[in-house]
Amino acid sequence: MKRFDIVIVGGGFCGFLVAKKLEKLLPEKNIALLELRKEFEYTPSIMKIITDKKYAEKITIPYTTLKRTTVLHEPAQKLHDGKIISNKKTYTYDFAVICSGAHTPCPLKSEQVFVLKSVQDAFKIHDAIQNAKRVVVVGGGLVGVEVAGELCTKKRKHIVLVEPGERLLRRNSEQVSQHFQKYLEQKGCMCVFGERVTQFKNKTVITQSGKNIAADIVIWCAGIGVDTLLRGGACVNDKGCVLVDEYLRVKGLEHVFAGGDITDVPEEKTAQSAEQHAEVIAENILQMNSSNPQLTSHTPHSQGLLISTGDWHAVFVRDSFFFSGIIPALMKRFLEWWVVWKLKH
């Protein structure tokens, strides 16, 4: 059994940022990060890799840039009674931060069906589309729209985007949905609504209504599943999300925080939200190490979304306001460069 002052599970946006911030705020503390991957991945841009493998070099940062954090490449399996248990060892802690992220649950089982949650996933899709003529993208949310946009603006393929709802990007206004539908269709992408994909066999996607769509490969971008060590406990809701208080502490566990996609906070699950969580968690751990802690509460707020469809078209959305074109596309490129540069340095 090994002891650390702070153990962070998950090296995505929230976990990586918490480690970075705590190295500066609490340099005397012994910090561990449990993460299987070797590099941090700037996930808002991983869809770029499906058409350009070299793009990965721009959006990955080795965890070795963490100077005072012990990075352990092993999976955390359970949090129990003040201990975090991996497949190799058991770790005790004063504070734990659970940022284990989410996955995309895909019911289709085939070597030609892919999900997109990591750089490695993007590499597999990149290789698969080289010989594919017909691609079906399932899910008309943020990821599905950006994947479809990346493909139909850069590859000469037959692209079909299937959305079970009645419009794209349902959490945004109808005007935004209509804008993206019109743009994608102008670029040759067919949008199919009101159909839920249930099967893929003999190079055919089959929906619940019996509709058949020809496809060489399928990219599944629908739904979200939560990965958490706390699954099945009283601090997890029926959707698998971790219940947290206003300070992002796991309910019933005063010295355990949770951040990123796994929380029950009612907000869009984006890198922006994860970054806000990291700020609050790092500050609150600092305060709880002081003699007179003044904790900071988390209030969900969005500074707007940048949604891209290819290199030269994007939309900036904030509440009911949006504008589109090359300027939001350049804004998104600059934001990517700035965040990656800031994390590296």
Please provide the average confidence, as pLDDT, over all residues in the chain.
94
- pLDDT of 230 higher than 80: no
What residues contact residue 243 under an 8 Å CB cut-off, 6+ apart?
235, 236, 237, 250, 251, 264
- Cβ(90)–Cβ(84) below 8 Å: yes
Q: What is the pLDDT of residue 231?
A: 65
Q: How far is CA 7 from the centre of its chain?
A: 21
Q: Which CATH architecture has domain 2-103+224-303?
A: 3-Layer(bba) Sandwich (3.50)
The rounded percent of the chain whose pLDDT value lies above 70 is: 99
Q: Is the pLDDT of residue 103 over 90?
A: no
pLDDT at position 234 is 66
Q: Is 197 exposed, middle or buried (0-12, 13-18, 19+ CB in 10 A)?
A: buried
C-beta neighbour count of 319 within 10 angstroms:
9
- H or E element, residue 285: helix 271-288
Residue of 225, 259, 231, 228 lying closest to 245 (CA atoms): 259
User: What pLDDT is attached to residue 237?
Assistant: 85
Task: Identify the band that residue 233 occupies on the pLDDT scale cut at 50, 70 and 90.
Answer: low
Q: Is the per-residue pLDDT at 277 higher than 70?
A: yes
Other Cβ atoms less than 10 A from the Cβ of 131: the count is 8
* pLDDT for the residue 240: 81
Average pLDDT over residues 276-295: 97
Same fold, 2-103+224-303 and 113-223: yes
Q: What is the mean pLDDT of residues 111-118?
A: 96
- Sketch the domain layout of the chain as residue ranges: 2-103+224-303, 113-223
Q: What is the pLDDT of residue 35?
A: 96
Lowest mean pLDDT among 99-113, 177-191, 275-289: 99-113
Task: Residue count of the chain, please give it.
Answer: 345
Q: Of the candidates 235, 248, 236, which has an alpha carbon nearest to the alpha carbon of residue 282? A: 248
Q: 182 pLDDT band (50/70/90 cuts)? A: very high
Q: Does 3.50.50.60 match the CATH number of domain 113-223?
A: yes
The pLDDT > 90 percentage for the chain reads 86
Q: Is the pTM of this model over 0.95?
A: no
HEC letters along 219-256: EECCCCEECCCCCCCCCECCCCCECECCCCEECCCCCE
CA 318/CA 161 separation, integer angstroms = 24
Residue 227 has pLDDT above 80, yes or no: no
Comparing 34-43, 53-62, 227-236, the range with the smallest average pLDDT is 227-236
Helix (H) or strand (E) segment spanning residue 178: helix 174-186
Six-digit token string for 310 = 């290819």
